[in-house]
Amino acid sequence: MYRTNAQSRVLEEAFVRYGTPYKLVAGTRFYERREVKDIIAYLRLIQNPYDTVSLLRIINVPQRGIGQQTVAKLSSWAKSMGMSPYEALRCISKPKGDKEPPFSPHIARTLAGFVNLTEEFIAQSRKLNLVDLFDSV
Q: Are residues 57 and 22 in the same domain?
A: no
Q: What are the tens digits of pLDDT across the range 103-131? A: 999 999 999 999 999 999 999 999 999 98
Query: How many domains does the structure of the chain reveal?
Result: 2
Q: Are residues 62 and 129 in the same domain?
A: yes
Q: What are the tens digits of pLDDT across the range 78-108? A: 999 999 999 999 998 887 766 778 899 999 9
**Helices within the chain (DSSP H only):** 8-17, 34-47, 52-58, 68-81, 85-93, 105-125, 130-136
Q: Give kind and range of the element (H or E) at residue 29.
A: none
Q: Are residues 28 and 45 in the same domain?
A: no
> How many CA atoms within 13 Å lie on the side-chain side of 137?
28
Q: Are residues 27 and 64 in the same domain?
A: no
Q: What are the tens digits of pLDDT across the range 16-63? A: 888 888 777 666 776 788 998 999 999 999 999 999 999 999 999 999
Q: Are residues 8 and 65 in the same domain?
A: no
Q: Are residues 61 and 51 in the same domain?
A: yes
Q: Are residues 51 and 17 in the same domain?
A: no
Kindly report each contact of residues 36-39 with a partner whose C-beta sits within 8 Å and lies 24 or more positions away, as own/partner: 39/134, 39/137
Domain that holds residue 21: 1-32
